[in-house]
Amino acid sequence: MTDTKPIAAAQVPLRRRSTNYPEPFASRVVGREKRALGDPFGLTNFGVNLTRLQPGAVSALRHAHTRQDEWIYILEGNPTLITNTGETELSPGMCAGFKAATEDAHHLVNRSVADVVYLEVGDRTAGDCVTYPDDDITARLGSDGHWQFAHKDGTPYA
Amino acid sequence: MTDTKPIAAAQVPLRRRSTNYPEPFASRVVGREKRALGDPFGLTNFGVNLTRLQPGAVSALRHAHTRQDEWIYILEGNPTLITNTGETELSPGMCAGFKAATEDAHHLVNRSVADVVYLEVGDRTAGDCVTYPDDDITARLGSDGHWQFAHKDGTPYA
C-alpha cells in the first residue's frame, strides 16, 4: 500500500473518476485532468493533485470548505482565480491558500489558449461541508469518506 | 490574519527562525532557506514551505514522523533523497511522500553544484513525535504547538 519510491508526477495515472459531481455539474469540469500525488505514497492526512486545465476548463464549481484548508501552486500557464472579492490572473510560481470557514468561495478558470498545470493540496478533516454560492448544490463529507451531494433545499442528487 | 490575495512564492519573506534544532544540530542545516507559503493565508491544518538548499546543504536531520504525513515536489535542481532503503537522485517534476508511522526516516542532501528548490507539505496533527535514527535527538510536538527536543535518554536539550 505504502511505497516511498519517488515518482515523476506527470507519469502518475489519471484519477479513475474525473469528478464526483452529479450532473449537470460533472459536465462543467470537462477538460480537467487530475493525478493524485499523495495517494501513491499512502498519505491520508492530506491529498495532493497535479491538475491540468485545458483552455476553457475550470478547476471546480466555485466553492468554499467549512473545515478543510486548500492551497494551490501554479506550475504552468495563466489561470484566472475567481473569489468572492474578484478576479486575479495567476502565473507560474504564484500560490494561493483558502482557509476553511472563511466562506471565500474560489475556483480557477483557464481563459487562456494554453494548458494550465498546478498543484493543489487539501487536508482531509472529517465533517467537512462545501458551499457553492453560484449553484444549487451542497456537499457533505460522510463518515464513510464519500461526498454526499444535495440541492440547497436538502433533496439529494440521485 | 487571513488574506486570500495570491502571492509570488519566491517573494515571500524567509522564515524568521531558520531552524528549531538545538546545537549541534542547528549548524547542520546551514545553507537551507524556507519561505512559509501556507501561513500568509492563515492555513492551520497543514503547512507548505518553499525551501532552497545551497550546494552541500541538507533539508533536515534524517527523520520520521509518528503522526504527520509529509510530501515534497522538486521545482529546481537534483537533490539526493536518502531513506532507510537507500539513495535516489531526484529531478524537477518528481515528488515523494512519507506516510506517518512507517518509520522510514528521510531527508534530502544537495550534493550538486547548483541550488535545489522544492515544495514541502506537512500536516499539523497533534501529538506528533519525530525520530532521528542517525542522531542523539528526539522531538515531540507539545500541546502549546512548540517542538520539544530531547536526547534519546530523555534529557532535554537546553
The interface pTM score, or ipTM, of the predicted complex is 0.95
For B25-78, the pLDDT digits (tens) are 999 999 999 999 999 999 999 999 999 999 999 999 999 999 999 999 999 999
Q: Does A83 touch chain B (CB under 8 A)?
A: yes
Q: Residue B116: how many CB atoms within 10 A of its CB?
A: 26
- Amino acid identity at A148: Q
Place of cell 492526512: A45
Mutate: best of A4, A65, A109, A119, partner B, most B CBs <10 A: A4
Contact A46 B123 (CB under 8 A): yes
**Cis? peptide before B24, omega within 30° of 0:** yes
Whole-angstrom distance, CA of residue A14 vs CA of residue B115: 31
Residues A100, B46, B10, A9, CA torsion sign = negative
Name the residue facing A43 among B7, B71, B94 (closest C-beta).
B71
3-state SS, residue A26: helix
Per-residue pLDDT at A1: 39
For A77-90, the pLDDT digits (tens) are 999 999 999 999 99
Average pLDDT of chain A, as a whole number: 95
CA nearest to A77, candidates A114, A126, A39: A114
> Assign residue B31 a region: left if phi > 0, alpha if psi is -120 to 50, beta otherwise?
left
**Do residues A9 and B73 make contact, with C-beta atoms less than 8 angstroms apart?**
yes
- HSE (side-chain half, CA atoms, 13 Å) at A88: 17
Say whether pLDDT at B113 is over 70: yes
Whole-angstrom distance, CA of residue A50 vs CA of residue A7: 12
User: What percent of chain B clears pLDDT 70, i.e. is strictly above it?
Assistant: 97
Task: Report angle CA A74, A103, B145 to the nearest 5 degrees.
Answer: 75
3-state SS, residue B39: helix
Confidence of residue B3 (pLDDT cuts 50, 70, 90): low
Q: Does A86 touch chain B (CB under 8 A)?
A: no
Whole-angstrom distance, CA of residue A96 vs CA of residue B90: 26
Per-residue pLDDT at B1: 40
Whole-model pTM: value is: 0.96
Whole-angstrom distance, CA of residue A144 vs CA of residue A71: 24
CA nearest to B75, candidates B55, B54, B91, B56: B91
For A105-150, the pLDDT digits (tens) are 999 999 999 999 999 999 999 999 999 999 999 999 999 989 999 9
Residue A128 burial by Cβ neighbours in a 10 Å radius (0-12, 13-18, 19+): middle
Shortest Cα distance from B158 to chain A (angstroms)?
Answer: 32
Mutate: best of B63, B74, B119, B123, partner A, most A CBs <10 A: B123
Q: Which residues of chain B neighbour A104 with C-beta distances below 8 Å?
A: 4
What is the bridge-based pairing of β-strands A107-109 and A32-36? unpaired
Place of cell 507539545: B142
Confidence of residue B17 (pLDDT cuts 50, 70, 90): confident
